[in-house]
Amino acid sequence: MDDDGVELVVRSIAPSARCPWCGSVSSRTHGGYRRMLTDTPLAGQRVRIAVAVRRFRCVEASCSAVAFAEQIPGLTSPFARYTPVAGGLLAAVAVALAGRAGARLCAKLGLAVGPDTLIRRVRAQPIPEVPEITVLGVDDFAFRKGQRYGTILINMADHRPVDVLADREADTLATWLREHPGVEVVCRDRAGAYANGIADGAPDAIQVADRFHLWKNLCEAAGKTVTAHHGCLRPPVAAPEAQAGEPEPGVGTVAPAAAPEPAAVIVPERRLVTRTRERFEAVQSRLAAGMSRSAIGRELNLDIQTVRRFANATSLEELLVNCHNRTTTLDDYVQQVNELFNAGLDGAQITMRIREVGYTGSEQSVRRHLRPYRVPGTSRSHPDPVRRKPAPSAPPVPKPRKISRWLLSRPDHLTKDDTTELTDLLTRCEHLQRLHEHVRRFATIMTGLRGNEILDWIQLVEADDLPHLTSFAAGLRRDLDAVINGLSLPYSSGAVEGAVNRLKTLKRGMFGRANHDLLRAKVLIPA
């Protein structure tokens, strides 16, 4: 025993050993050597075992081995530098943590091991056999987002992953299904490659489109529709009344409402609005000239997703709605801010007032909101209420995201005020009223597992004037059988989504650098 730990010197007293190649027993020694093994720590101290290993001559003339080294059962194995107990501990740590995190834990446990050794331990572990599967879950994940994707397969009977495929191509999935017959039901998202792969590899299997993805796609279509019709919800602006007389600036009693400017205030165009306008014009002009979207992205130095957003927009106003209606901490206090501003208070005083009722933002946000209502030339520190433009006294129109949430929430989950405001908004826009009816009917079909009614719903949507919802309905029609099964059968892909989240956690634990075989081992081998 020394500062480095405990060292044990051992040797075997067996008179003979068995040849690992032919199985014959030999007692003829042929020299030996010293072998160092690492064992599990003892009271926090490193334990090393020095084994005096003997070599034996094989007595079988037909054996290809001339000599062999003896192995001590339970202590040694060929080429191993750790005892079986220590090797099992390293394998458990490697599967759970791998890499540098596992090496740091092993150092605390008294086992000196490098991260590469642990990764080799993970790869050396046997992959569990694929059991008999009746209901299979399929979903994709990103090795590197936007560039390379893989596929995870889940046994829906016990919610355990059974395999991880290197890509998400139809041929790969079809090959796997042919190698593992017996699958009767496949739960998947609406990816066309998976539909083709299942039809090719397991043509008799029932394909079930996941209800979560169906509802998610509906939410996206509804959100785009609300954004497109958000302008319909603004109340009409009343014409200003003629004033008998307007006091000169700085003279007389302060009365903000005595000399109002016209209620229609033109907000100065922000940089974000200008940039959106310029990009929209640039993308649309190049599309009209026959350029491809990828070529437009390269020329304008824009990501393909950005180009796609500007190309798919039906109008500039659809894009500008998001520019003008971003969610801020001031949204719930806008009406109160406007009333206080019209009463003659400045930005600092208004900020103090609304902080008393829960506002947590900055004074700068309040000033930024009030900037359009100040007449140029007035001082911010000494404002002249007479030379102000009146802020709108009517409550602001809720943001598109809030309206979408009201439309897509269960009615019994909304507060009384939310229900009242939603009803008022729907009376202002016929399109949103019809959207609300379509959403509620789809929710009834989905929650009641009444998939046989989805075709009637699709026909009603196609006959309506809601382009984004019509596009969603067209996608349902292309995958109609799987959609009907998904809205009729009790199967769900919730377990698959959970497995994908676990896979992402494992991948991020290795900083995204695990390739297919390492990630597959980490996912499939139980920790």
Ordered per-residue pLDDT tens for the chain, 527 residues: 777 788 899 999 999 999 999 989 999 998 999 999 999 888 878 889 999 999 999 998 899 888 999 999 889 888 888 999 998 899 999 998 888 889 999 888 888 889 999 999 999 899 999 999 999 999 999 998 888 999 999 999 999 999 999 999 999 999 999 999 999 999 998 888 899 999 999 999 999 999 999 999 999 999 989 988 887 777 654 444 444 444 444 444 333 333 333 333 344 456 778 888 899 999 999 999 999 999 999 999 999 999 998 998 877 777 776 665 567 788 888 888 888 888 888 888 889 989 988 898 888 888 888 887 776 655 555 455 555 677 776 677 888 888 999 999 999 999 998 999 999 999 989 999 999 999 999 999 999 999 999 999 999 999 998 999 999 999 999 999 999 999 999 998 889 999 999 999 998 888 878 889 999 999 999 87
Q: Which two tokens stand for residue 478?
A: 């292309």
Q: Tell me phi and psi for residue 390, to 5 degrees.
A: -70, 135
Distance from C-alpha of 60 to C-alpha of 65, rounded to nearest angstrom: 9
Q: Which two tokens stand for residue 221?
A: 């279509």
Give the helix ranges, DSSP H, for 448-493.
Answer: 454-462, 467-478, 480-486
Q: Which residue has the tokens 């020394």?
A: 2
Question: DSSP secondary structure string, 438-452?
Answer: HHHHHHHHHHTT-GG
Q: What is the pTM of this model?
A: 0.72
Distance from C-alpha of 90 to C-alpha of 499, rounded to nearest angstrom: 25
Asked whether the beta carbons of 185 and 136 are under 8 A apart, the reply is yes
Q: Which residues pair with 140 in a beta bridge?
A: 151
CATH of domain 135-210+492-524: 3.30.420.10
Distance from C-alpha of 508 to C-alpha of 506, rounded to nearest angstrom: 6
Give CATH 3.30.420.10 domain extents, the chain: 135-210+492-524
- Among residues 176, 193, 166, 215, the alpha carbon closest in space to that of 443 is found at 215
